[in-house]
Amino acid sequence: MQSIKHLPLTILLGILLLAGCEKVIEVDLNSASPKYVIEAVVTDGQGPQQVRITQTKNFDENNDFEGVGTAQVTIADDAGNSSLLSYTGGGLYETTALAGVPGRTYYLTVNAGEETFTATSAMPEPVALDSLYIEEFTTFGDPVKIPYISYNDPPVIRNYYRYLLYVNNVRAKSIYINTDDRNNGSPVERPLPYFEGGDEDRLKAGDIITVEMQSIEQAVYDYFFSLDQTIEQDAATPANPVSNITGGALGYFSAHSTQTATLEVE
């Protein structure tokens, strides 16, 4: 089979669209009532482990979501460790007292006002990120540089991935996720197309790009998949992404292991 990295860009983009097709997850409609939004992350190592809490507004209000600074946030693990996170401003709570260890399960508890929210996430083992490189394609006479990552997907177990792309220390808005349901146990070459705006935003020589590859749980994959679907709906009453947080809050709790790579575009 011809390697995907040697295909013309127009065909490549078509393949990416097909590869991204998944069964659409049914989600509840947004409520006009304000809701808490929790984005909680535990990474391997000392962190800092972070939880950001904001609150939605009614549909007729602006989209400037203010951070919630009056919550009590605790993260514990199945080894008996627990840490009360400190508020650092802007809705962000942090701790370096709790290490993230692959294979452990983590428990989040958030007390905000009179409401309590909980979530559980088990941290997968890391998958080694072998390389980060650039492939250049020509379409309509214009060269386009596309970042690629390569790694070997572990056999047997089901793996879910999220990739964060940073260009000159600014994170790309695109959602990059993947599963190994079609390439379990096989080498993976994954393009991360960067089209944030017009031609002026394309990658160019001298740009510094960094990719963080996260090994995530299925529940976290489902959240970002449904979030991506919600963004694409562009509807007046979009659906809320599915969440692994109980108690009625929006958002997600992800305990994940990470691998990173950085290069300068030539």
pLDDT value at position 5?
Answer: 44
Peptide bond connecting 8 to the previous residue in cis, omega within 30 degrees of 0: no
Those residues whose C-beta lies under 8 Å from the C-beta of residue 212, and which sit 6 or more positions away, are 163, 164, 166, 258, 259, 260
pLDDT band at residue 32, thresholds of 50, 70 and 90? Answer: low
- Which residue from 259, 250, 175, 154 is spatially nearest to 210, judged by alpha carbons? 259
Those residues whose C-beta lies under 8 Å from the C-beta of residue 8, and which sit 6 or more positions away, are 137, 139
Determine what percent of the chain is predicted with pLDDT higher than 70: 80
List the domain boundaries for the chain.
Answer: 4-24+126-229+257-264, 36-123
Separation between Cα atoms, residue 190 and residue 252, nearest integer Å:
25
pLDDT of residue 16 exceeding 80, the answer is: no
pLDDT value at position 4?
Answer: 42
Mean pLDDT (the chain) is 86
**Which CATH number fits the domain 4-24+126-229+257-264, given the four candidates 2.60.40, 1.20.120, 2.40.160, 2.60.120?**
2.60.40
pLDDT value at position 40?
Answer: 98
Residue corresponding to tokens 């809701």: 35
pLDDT of residue 128 exceeding 50, the answer is: yes
Among 23-32, 57-66, 118-127, top mean pLDDT goes to 118-127
Inter-residue contact 118 to 247 (CB < 8 Å): yes
User: pTM of the prediction?
Assistant: 0.83
- Which residue from 177, 165, 245 is spatially nearest to 216, judged by alpha carbons? 177
Residue corresponding to tokens 């904001």: 54
> Once rounded to an integer, what is the mean pLDDT over residues 44-52?
95
pLDDT value at position 180?
Answer: 94
Those residues whose C-beta lies under 8 Å from the C-beta of residue 163, and which sit 6 or more positions away, are 149, 176, 177, 178, 190, 192, 211, 212, 213, 214
Query: pLDDT tens across 211-263, in order?
Result: 999 999 999 999 999 999 877 655 445 568 899 999 999 999 999 999 999 99
For 36-123, give the CATH class: mainly beta
